[in-house]
Structure 1
Amino acid sequence: MMSIEDDYLMLSGIQHFYFCKRQWGLIHINQQWQENEYTIEGQFIHTKVDNPLLKEKRKDIFISRAMHVFSKELGLVGILDAVEFHKDSQGIQVNHKRGKWKPYIVEYKRGKPKKDNRDIIQLVAEVICLEETLGCKIDKSYLYYHSTNNKQEIEITKSLRAEVTSYAKQMHIFYSTGKLPKAEYFRNCQTCSLVDVCMPRLSKKSKNTSNYIKNAIMGDEVL
């Protein structure tokens, strides 16, 4: 989809876009950010994980951390938490390693599994980027949740790939126009670090007022 690296968007932003398009727009278009207890805890966990100097090797497995990846298809670029390489005769060759290896991403999350697919969407986008970077195909990867100490296997399906491609296209349309997505109010808004910047309740009321006035005028015209 994209060919100019300067036009690539942040890979991590696709999770924000899935969860709330306006939140993504405030961060990635308007360059606004506020910390709260959740973002600080998440940064602390990733600081420990995303250390490229931290090496780990087990029998027939080695782990690469803070790997830079990109996708021309999605127009996304970013850094992965951890990639596990498992020795496998059907895998790929890796510099300075004997044999062949299959890569699997392990994306670390602060909390517990979500009811929606926001974490899964981010993981699938990461897989697509890693596939392009390494020139391989990856059929599964993992989400690790810090609060539950649980590693969840995720199958990278065709439908999830198509969903990620659609979100990436939408992100580029919004970004190229510089237009901030409209606010919507959800139950989770109060836990968002940008709630005071977004003001979703006020935006929603303004929208409802505008619709009321518009309908009233149209009603007068009919009468």
Structure 2
Amino acid sequence: MPDNQPLPVPLSALEHYDYCPRQAGLILLEDAFADDVATVRGTLAHRRVHDPGHETRPQVRTLRALPVWHVELGLTGVCDVVEIRPDGAVLPIEHKSGNYKPGGPADVQVAAQAMCLEERMGVSITTAAVYSMADRRRHSVSVDEPLRERVRGTALRVRHIMETAALPAPAADSRCRRCSMNTGCMPKVLAGRTRFDRLLAQLYTPGPEREWDD
């Protein structure tokens, strides 16, 4: 790879990092992704969406599993669905199996897709969407400057993990209960490591020498 080209960051890693930096690190550095009921449900629900191809409906052309990239930011990945309207407007739609959380990690991922599409298609995209399979609704996402800056910052932080191969510290909070990688991550064990190390050091610290009687 040329020296002036940044290390490619997968679009999916942006969402993982925004949810939990350690989760992103485990997936990127150790290929440690683990399935649970929610992730399997999402995989099954994505099967049709991820079949490459396109279809045309009245007034809308739909592209599926569209490869995209952003040279300057070093992003690469695949858009679930991209709709192209007669007026040339382009709408990326990220599909999620669970409930949609406004301002959550999915917004970062779909905004990054929008930025990639802008570079690939030479268009301006101000709106994206997240389709929640839980409520079967599209949720509109405004691709404004604060969200774009969030994408840029997240991409830099993900790339730092990849370049340094250093795992972020565990979150050890409410996110861990919903994470399929809880067992491999061991957040509660590692979150208390500083206290454990301190107690261990105290246990084995040599005390004052004693004089023993013959």
Deviations 1:18-66 (A, max 9, x none): 000000000011211211111111111111111124x432222110001
Instruction: For 1:3 and 1:124, locate their aligned partners in 2 and report how far apart those are by CA, in whole Å.
Output: 25
Secondary structure of 1:12 counterpart = helix
Q: Does 2:184 correspond to 1:185?
A: no
Over the aligned positions, Cα root-mean-square deviation in angstroms equals 2.0
Q: Given residue 140 of structure 1, which amino acid in structure 2 is its aligned partner?
A: T
User: Alignment partner for residue 106 of structure 1, among 63, 70, 93?
Assistant: 93
Alignment partners' CA distance in 1, 2:126 and 2:196: 49
Question: What is the deviation of 1:208?
Answer: 3.2
Distance across 2 between alignment mates of 1:60 and 1:17: 36
1:21 corresponds to: 21
- How many pairs were matched up? 200
Query: Structure 1 residue aligned with 2:146, among 146, 159, 170?
Result: 159
% identity of equivalent residues? 27
Q: 1:161-184 deviations in whole A, cap 9, x for unaligned?
A: 011101101111111011111112
Work out the CA distance in 1 between the residues paired with 2:182 and 2:103: 20
Q: Does 1:206 align with 2:193?
A: yes
Structure 1: gaps (5+ residues) = 89-100, 215-223
Name the residue aligned to 1:121.
Answer: 108
Instruction: Tell me what 2:84 maps to.
Output: 85
User: Partner of 1:220 in structure 2?
Assistant: none
User: How many angstroms apart in 2 are the aligned matches of 1:51 and 1:202?
Assistant: 41
Instruction: State how far apart, in whole Å, the 2-side matches of 1:177 and 1:119 are.
Output: 26
Matched with 1:37 is 37
1:170 match: 157
Distance in structure 2 (CA, Å) of the matches to 1:166 and 1:146:
29
Question: How far apart are the structure 2 equivalents of 1:22 and 1:65?
Answer: 30
Mark the structure with the bigger radius of gyration. Answer: 2
Relative distance call for 1:135 and 1:211 in structure 2 (3 A) is farther
- Give secondary structure in 2 for the equivalent of 1:131: helix
Per the alignment, residue 122 of structure 2 pairs with 135
C-alpha distance in 2 between matches for 1:211 and 1:77: 43
Using the alignment, how far apart are the partners of 1:115 and 1:67 within structure 2? 24
Look up the SS of the partner of 2:86 in the other structure: strand
Does structure 2 retain, via aligned residues, the 8 Å contact 1:66–1:79?
yes
The residue number in structure 2 matching 1:62 is: 61
Residue segments in structure 2 that go unaligned for 5+ positions in a row: 202-214
Do 1:3 and 1:75's aligned partners in 2 also have CA atoms closer than 8 Å?
Answer: no
Q: Is this contact kept in 2: 1:3–1:72, CA < 8 A?
A: no
Determine if the alignment matches structure 1 residue 49 to structure 2 residue 43. no
d(CA) in 2 for partners of 1:196 and 1:16? 17
Moved more, 182-191 or 158-167: 182-191
Q: Return the letter of the residue paired with 1:135.
A: G
Q: Which moved more, 1:152-161 or 1:129-138?
A: 129-138
How has the CA–CA distance of structure 1 residues 52 and 28 changed in structure 2, closer, same or farther, with 3 Å as cutoff? same
